Homo-oligomer: A and B are copies of this chain.
Amino acid sequence: MGRTVETAACVAVGSELLGAGRVDTNSLKVAEEVGRYGVQVVEKRVVGDDLERIAGTISGLLGLVDLLVVTGGLGPTADDVTREALARALGVRLVQEAEVEGWIRERYAQFGRTMPQACLSMARVLPGAEVLPNPRGTAPGILVERDGSIIALLPGVPWEMEAMLERYVLPLLEERNAGRQRLSRTLILSGVIESEVESRVRHLYDRFGRENITILASMGIVRLILSAAGVPEEAEARLSRMEMAFREVLGQDLAGVDASGLEEIVLEMLRRREEALAVAESCTGGLVAARLTDVAGASRVLVGGVVAYSNEIKEELLGVAHELLVRHGAVSAEVARAMAEGVARRCGSDWGLGITGIAGPGGGTKEKPVGLVHWAVAGPCGVVARERVFPGTRQIVRGWSANASLDLLRRCISGAVAP
């Protein structure tokens, strides 16, 4: 029974993870799994298949974290040098181990193949370290403790890494941290900006600890992630106290808790009321529908949607009056309202959402600049419309528009906004 494990670092080894096309995702799994035992990942690193850099990375983190998970570079090829790098970092030499060689030969035999000569390198072990058999592959892992850090070398293949993390690392954490866990809860806010939220919740930082509160903002959505450590009942109780205190200051801006996003929150609100929704999109071009239908079970609420880019389709599929389009233009509050009402009528839904705007980069004028978006919600009590000029790229204007219109929808459903 060694000391408690509180902090962890993940090191991903592989030159392919340093280019423009691929990120390390093993660390997400590690963070999730060790997090359940109250262990917090405090640093992540990615290094190439370079003996010196890997060794330097390991020695640099030694003693700074309680757990160091190194993934990748354990295979038989010339660029697999993680094992060697660990030996160098610890100032020891690897030795060839006949028993491990036997395991590897056996693994190959199970696949009906002869072990290639290159695989001998995988049977080199670190004196004093535990060799971890790989249940889903051939490369063994290594587990060793030094300077207060547990070091686990695991394969880079996610399927193999996950099995070995679960088999060798998690039981160790369970033992060391007897019962201690870290739980979290995410509050989702919409229609409010980060700095405003920050100023409203700042006094709660001191009360609950700055390290237990994370604030994240993205295109009109603010997430507050609350966390608490301890034995599960204590942590759960503490989280509930935190949530209550936050709810008090957030009021109507709090859209939901622990949901994947605004789309899930809106779908759940409507599902409970047994009401149906349809969306009519111009500048967002299907983005709102795609986000809603990404949620399992969306079909019980979202009956349909129309992407109406051209005026003809706004008239033909949504029944927007020709005169309205001529008089106010396609990007106008009047047309947004008519789209919301039209799509609800055509689809026979209780609620309709209409969005029309200029996502850019082209198509702007002095009166109607790029970024101008009108959105409207048609519901049982009437129609509400809003507008804004969103700054940013086409993608950003579309993202903000989707969130702003879903925010208006949720406020109309809850009765906080009425015509």
Q: Is the CB of B313 within 8 A of A347?
A: yes
Q: Which residue of B lies closest to A25 (CB)?
A: B23
Residue A2 lies at the interface, judged by CB distance under 8 Å to chain B: no
User: Which residues of chain B have C-beta atoms less than 8 A from A136's C-beta?
Assistant: 391-392
| In the bound complex, CA of A119 to CA of B394 (Å) | 28
| In the bound complex, CA of A281 to CA of B304 (Å) | 10
| In the bound complex, CA of A130 to CA of B195 (Å) | 26
User: Which residues of chain B have C-beta atoms less than 8 A from A60's C-beta?
Assistant: 60
Query: How many protomers of this protein does the assembly include?
Result: 2
Q: Separation in Å of the A392 CB from the closest CB of chain B?
A: 6
Residue A312 lies at the interface, judged by CB distance under 8 Å to chain B: yes
Interface residues of A in 259-311 (CB under 8 A from B): 279, 281, 284-290, 292-294, 296-299, 302-310
Q: Is the CB of B309 within 8 A of A307?
A: no
Interface of A is mostly: mixed
| In the bound complex, CA of A159 to CA of B116 (Å) | 48
Residue A15 lies at the interface, judged by CB distance under 8 Å to chain B: yes
Q: Is the CB of B290 within 8 A of A304?
A: no
Instruction: Evaluate whether A42 and B23 lie within 8 angstroms (CB atoms) in the complex, with A307-B305, A317-B317 already known.
Output: no
Residue A216 lies at the interface, judged by CB distance under 8 Å to chain B: yes
User: Which residues of chain B have C-beta atoms less than 8 A from A43's C-beta?
Assistant: 18, 45-48, 53, 57
| In the bound complex, CA of A342 to CA of B309 (Å) | 17
Q: How large is the interface on A (under 10, 10 to 19, 20 to 34, 35 or more residues)?
A: 35 or more
Interface residues of A in 28-79 (CB under 8 A from B): 28-29, 31-32, 35, 40-48, 50, 53, 57, 60, 76-79
A287 is contacted by which of B15, B216, B286 (Cβ under 8 Å)? B286
Residue A416 lies at the interface, judged by CB distance under 8 Å to chain B: no
Q: Separation in Å of the A289 CB from the closest CB of chain B?
A: 3
Residue A214 lies at the interface, judged by CB distance under 8 Å to chain B: yes
Q: Separation in Å of the A320 CB from the closest CB of chain B?
A: 13
User: Which residues of chain B have C-beta atoms less than 8 A from A116's C-beta?
Assistant: 195, 199
Residue A19 lies at the interface, judged by CB distance under 8 Å to chain B: yes
Instruction: Evaluate whether A290 and B286 lie within 8 angstroms (CB atoms) in the complex, with A18-B44, A31-B20 already known.
Output: yes
Q: Is the CB of B285 within 8 A of A289?
A: yes
> Other than the known A17-B44, A23-B28, what 15 A-B pairs have Cβ atoms closer than 8 Å?
A18-B44, A23-B25, A44-B45, A45-B45, A77-B195, A78-B198, A78-B202, A119-B195, A286-B288, A286-B289, A287-B294, A293-B359, A294-B394, A304-B317, A317-B317
